[in-house]
Amino acid sequence: MLTMIYAALFYAATAILLAGVGYRIWQYASTPAPLKIPTTPAPITTTGVAFRMAREVLVFESLFKSNKWIWAFGIVFHGALAVVLLRHFRYFQQPVWSVIGLVQPFGVYAGFAMVAGLAGLWARRIVVPRIRYISGPSDHLMLALLVAIGVSGLTLKFVARTDIVAVKAFFLGLMRLSIQPLPADPFLLIHLGLVAALMIVFPYSKLLHAPGVFFSPTRNQADNPRERRHLSKWAAKLEANRAEGA
Amino acid sequence: MDVQHPFSDETTELPDPTEMPDIKVGAMAASKPYVAPCTIQEALNYPGELVENWQEKAVAKLGDLVGRYRSLKVFLDSCVKCGACTDKCHYFLGTGDPKNMPVARQDLLRKVYRRNFTLAGKYAPWLVGAVDLTEEVLDDWYTYFHQCSQCRRCSVFCPYGIDTAEISMAAREIMDHIGKGQKYSNEIIGKVFKIGNNLGLPPKALKATLEGLEEEIEEETGAPVKLPLDEQGADILLVTPSADFFASPHMEGLIGYAKVFHAAGAKWTLSSHASEAANFAMFIGSYETMREISLRIRKAAMDLGVKRIIFGECGHAWRVAYSFMNTLAGPFDFLDPKYPVPQHILEFTEEQIANGTVKLDKSKNDHMTLTFHDSCNVARASRMGPKPGGQFDIPRAVIKASVNNYHDMADETIKEKTFCCGGGGGLLTDELLDLRKKGAMPRMRALKEVEVNHGVTHMAAICAICKAQFSKVLPEYGFDREAIVSVHQLVSNAIILDKPNEAEAD
């Protein structure tokens, strides 16, 4: 019964995550950007824009300019999350890629770093008056969710271990459409339940900043308005009623 | 104190321009510009007064804009409330009002967007801070979206590049469509359509002004420098803010352009049809109106048969010209393809200095020590020259070619991190003087620092709004109101003009 509930939950969560984020990306991609608005100085070529975007996504360039504390906590959290995610790849592949094998020992430290980064960000929301002012219930809840995922995961590793062979069989089974029994350990169920919740809220929350950044016109446009005429579809329609000889 | 500070003879510690204020909730709640009366609204085809079903109309307009502007859609969705922007707005630094923190200002619109257009906002509004558009919210919109000068400083620091200017433009467009427009901007836009420029200066008066300037220049320098108007067959159309025709130090800048054109032997003209570089339609977020104003420049260029278009010193005008004009009124394939369209007067002047057609005697400016105020729209929304950052280097190169004494202000207050003068974005109106004065605080502190530590006496700028704003607020901070100068005023002082009688003597 429990296995079936979790199997259904993960199928649903995966579907919502993929469809939801896919829909958002389609929305962003299909909404016109009628004017050239890169924040300058901006790269003047597409290659330059790719580098700017890479710096923004990988090392949080703008955030670094802004505030070293937020940057430090943010980069620790996101970097650690990436390693932790890579570490978890082993539950979804057989045989395990050698890269994923190499990541395993670092993944454990990353788990602690992730929670530490989140704690830092959360502390700022409480301690710094101007950030407290802009924080709402959902901002705290999102941090709580991520911390709970991290702590329950670490608990599974260090305190209340579960049968990870069975867990892997469960997820491989999900991928091969043959449901295998999931161990009924409370911390495992909490951990997985929270992860599924995160996947479900992703497309409907501020976690949209992940796909959003790639579509941000101030960051993804090249600074070349004099060289190339930029015209969106709806703006082009206005051209039709331009009455002049030339 | 009796004890001498160990570094006292090196530099003096002064208030930090970026110092964080204490949060003062509601400090600026009473600051709002005059609402546009019926006649002004209707001249721009907006409702004359607040329409009956304004909530419904406003939400519909928001939906329309979110579907037409990717910037708005992505910016409303992506904010994570990280706080990176919270201490970056000059109006927050100057007032302490938390709704002047960029994220809080955006949230005024975002909470209505969430309520009406997102799943979470529809079913769990309390969780994500979603609210219905009430009278109170509309009042906050009018108040705080008119405390944003659309300077984009916050967008430099946002990890997603969220630009509050885009949000405040959208909010103002929504308010215009429900009949709650701002008098100052909308009245000025009306004048451009009716008379041709922001000031409402008719062609005859403009002609007389220019002739007066010609006499003045000849009297002073002996050189027959011309300021032609509507001259058919000129090579260059100069489009400049109308403040250049009457205000100070703007006019000194215009005299500078004329002298540069004269020295370069350029055939140029002003146009009475396009006697305005400014395009206030950007401030109210109206693409259509911004386009119509830009088309006036296209028409003037065609009618006069010019080969190139050059813009005078104006901040947001240069943004609209550089970044938008090709989109709004292009293609400009009828102009000489050798030159970018448009060009900035500083690009032209720098080239003349570099190739030696303009010669300067720096000692003519020895009574001054200069610094340079990067105007926000030039710095963060445009470029000059072929390389990114040319908008910082070219003005400085021209200033340094014209003066011997120059010193930059603190790094965190110049170039891409420059502070707005406090009067941009359609806020240069008397009823907002308190806001303008407070918003100028970071720039004034940075200026004070170079005055005390480096003997700076004057600040040069390349924006009509900056010049007018500083003329007004400099005295409030204990500076001389004439401490603000045009960059081309410095060129004008230093330029060496051949006098006809001297040329004959050679």
Dump the DSSP string for B41-102: HHHTTS-SS--TTHHHHHHHHHHHHHHH-HHHHHHHHH-----TTTT--HHHHHH--GGGSH
Chain B residue whose CA is closest to A232? B327
* CB proximity B327 to A under 8 Å: yes
To the nearest whole Å, the CA of B123 is away from the closest chain A CA by 12
Going across the sheet that includes B343-344, the strands are B268-269, B236-239, B308-311, B343-344
CB under 8 A, 24+ apart: contacts of B332-337: B332/B298, B332/B301, B334/A246, B334/B301, B334/B302, B335/B301, B335/B306, B335/B307, B335/B308, B335/B309, B336/B307, B336/B308
pLDDT tens digits along B221-274: 999 999 999 999 999 999 999 999 999 999 999 999 999 999 999 999 999 999
Q: Looking at B135, B163, B181, which one is the last position of a domain?
A: B181
Q: Residues in chain B, how many?
A: 506
Q: Do A206 and B78 make contact, defined as CB atoms within 8 angstroms? A: yes
- Span A171-179, mean pLDDT? 96
Q: What is the pLDDT of residue B12?
A: 67
What distance in Å separates the CA atoms of residue A172 and residue A166, rounded to the nearest whole number?
A: 10
Same domain, B438 and B487: yes
**Cis omega (within 30 of 0) on the bond before B342?**
yes
Collect contacts of A107-111 with beta carbons under 8 A, ≥24 apart: A107/A83, A108/A157, A110/A79, A110/A80, A110/A81, A110/A83, A110/A84, A111/A80, A111/A84, A111/A150, A111/A153, A111/A154, A111/A157
CB contact under 8 A, A63 and B85: no
Task: Name which of A25, A24, A42, A29 is nearest B70 in CA terms.
Answer: A29
Convert the pLDDT of each residue in B203-217 to its tens digit.
Answer: 999 999 999 999 999
Q: Is pLDDT at A91 greater than 50 in this prediction?
A: yes
**What is the average pLDDT across B41-59?**
97
User: Tokens 């110092």 — which residue?
Assistant: B19
Token pair, residue B497, equals 């003009």
Residue B396 lies in a domain: yes
Q: Does A130 touch chain B (CB under 8 A)?
A: yes
Distances in Å between the alpha carbon of B66 and those of A69, A212, B62, B114, B149? Answer: 33, 14, 6, 12, 21
- Binned at pLDDT 50, 70 and 90, residue B10 comes out as low
Give the whole-angstrom CA distance, residue B495 versus residue B120. Answer: 64
Alpha helices (H) in A128-241, listed in sequence order:
129-134, 137-158, 164-175, 186-201, 209-212, 217-220, 233-239
* B225/B212 Cα distance (integer angstroms): 12
Interface membership of B27 toward A (CB under 8 Å):
no
Instruction: For residues B223 and B101, state if they share a domain.
Output: no
Among B162, B181, B200, the domain-final residue is: B181
pLDDT in tens, B312-323: 999 999 999 999
**pLDDT tens for residues B373-407?**
999 999 999 999 999 999 999 999 999 999 999 99
Same domain as B175, residue B123: yes
**Predicted local distance difference test score (pLDDT) of residue B502:** 53
Separation between Cα atoms, residue B430 and residue B418, nearest integer Å = 24
Confidence at B7, pLDDT banded by 50, 70, 90 = very low
Task: With respect to residue A236, please indicate whether it lies within any of the assigned structural domains.
Answer: no
Q: State which of B129, B162, B181 marks the end of a domain.
A: B181
Within-domain flag for A239: no
Does B8 fall in a domain?
no
Determine whether the interchain pair B381/A39 forms a contact, defined as Cβ–Cβ distance below 8 Å: yes
Are the beta carbons of B71 and A218 closer than 8 angstroms? Answer: yes
Q: Do A242 and B330 touch (CB under 8 A)?
A: no
Q: Is the pLDDT of residue B489 over 70?
A: yes
Do residues B281 and B413 share a domain?
yes
Q: Which long-range contacts (CB under 8 A, 24 or more apart) does B347-350 make?
A: B347/B384, B347/B385, B347/B394, B348/B260, B348/B264, B348/B310, B349/B257, B349/B260, B349/B398, B349/B488, B349/B491, B350/B385, B350/B394, B350/B397, B350/B398
> Does residue B200 have a pLDDT over 90?
no
| Model confidence pLDDT, tens digit, residues A94-124 | 999 999 999 999 998 999 999 999 999 999 9
pLDDT at B11 > cutoff 80: no
- Judge whether B232 and B305 are in contact, CB under 8 Å: yes
Among partner residues A32, A36, A209, which is closest to B160 by beta-carbon distance?
A: A209
Q: Using the beta-carbon criterion (under 8 Å), do A238 and B159 form an inter-chain contact?
A: no
Looking at every residue in chain B, the average pLDDT score rounds to: 95
In-domain check, residue A96: yes
Q: Which amino acid is at B36?
A: A
Q: How many CB pairs under 8 A join A and B?
A: 211
**Position A231 in a domain:** no
The closest of B108, B76, B427 to B284, measured between CA atoms, is B427
> Residue B331, preceding bond cis, omega within 30 degrees?
yes
Concatenated DSSP letters of B254-268: HHHHHHHHHHHT--E
Residue A168 located in a structural domain: yes
Query: For residue A186, what are the contacts with CB-CB under 8 A and spacing of at least 6?
Result: A160
pLDDT of B505 over the 50 cut? no
Q: Is the dihedral of CA A127, B120, B113, A218 positive or negative?
A: positive
Q: Which domain holds residue A198?
A: 16-22+40-221
Query: Do residues A41 and B388 touch, judged by C-beta distance below 8 A?
Result: yes
- Number of domains chain B is built from: 2
Here the tokens at position B336 are 């000489």
Query: Is B369 found in the same domain as B225?
Result: yes
Q: According to the model, what pLDDT value does residue B4 have?
A: 43
What's the confidence (pLDDT) of residue B3?
A: 44
Q: B196 and B91 share a domain?
A: no
Which string of DSSP letters, residue by residue, matches B119-133?
Answer: HHHHH-HHHHT----
Opening angle at CA B143, ends B138 and B144, nearest 5: 100
Q: Which residues of B touch A204 (CB under 8 A)?
A: 118-120
Task: Identify whether B17 is part of a domain.
Answer: no
* Domain identity same for B110 and B215: no
Does residue B462 share a domain with residue B441? Answer: yes
Residue B506 has pLDDT above 60, yes or no: no
Pick from A173, A40, A135, A149: nearest CA to B151: A40
Q: Say if B448 falls within a structural domain.
A: yes
Q: Domain of B79?
A: 38-181
In a domain, B22, yes or no: no
Residue B208: CB atoms within 10 Å: 11
Give the integer Cα–Cα distance in Å for B316 and B165.
12
Strand partners, B484: B459
A165 touches chain B (CB under 8 A): no
Tally Cβ neighbours within 10 Å of residue B324.
25
Q: Is residue A2 part of a domain?
A: no
Nearest to B324 among A36, A62, A244 (CB): A36
Tokens read off for B457: 């006496």
- Judged by CB atoms closer than 8 Å, whether chains meet at B101 and A70 is answered as no
Q: Which residues contact B418 (CB under 8 A, 6 or more apart)?
A: B153, B373, B374, B375, B376, B379, B380
Is the pLDDT confidence value at B34 over 80?
yes
pLDDT at B1 over 80: no
Listing DSSP states for A138-170 in one string gives HHHHHHHHHHHHHHHHHHHHHTS---HHHHHHH
CATH code of B137's domain: 1.10.1060
Question: Are both B202 and B313 inside the same structural domain?
Answer: yes
Is B130 within a domain? yes
Digit-coded pLDDT (tens) for A178-224: 999 999 999 999 999 999 999 999 999 999 899 999 999 999 999 99
B70 Cβ contact list (under 8 Å, min separation 6): A28, A31, A32, A33, A215, A217
* A208 touches B at CB < 8 Å: yes
CB < 8 Å to B86, chain A: 130-131, 134
Measured between alpha carbons, how far is A48 from B45 in angstroms, rounded to an integer? 42
> What pLDDT, on a 0 to 100 scale, did the predictor assign at position B368?
98
| CATH number of the domain to which A77 belongs | 1.20.950.20
Tens of pLDDT, residue by residue over B333-358, are 999 999 999 999 999 999 999 999 99
Q: Which helix (H) or strand (E) covers residue A67, if one does?
A: none
Place of tokens 């890579």: A86
pLDDT above 50: residue A245 = no
How many domains are there within chain A? 1
Q: Is the pLDDT of residue A70 over 90?
A: yes
Q: What chain B residue is nearest to A133 in terms of C-alpha separation?
A: B98
d(CA A71, CA A62): 9
Q: B412-469: per-residue pLDDT in tens?
A: 999 999 999 999 999 999 999 999 999 999 999 999 999 999 999 999 999 999 999 9
Q: Which two tokens stand for residue B174?
A: 């929504």
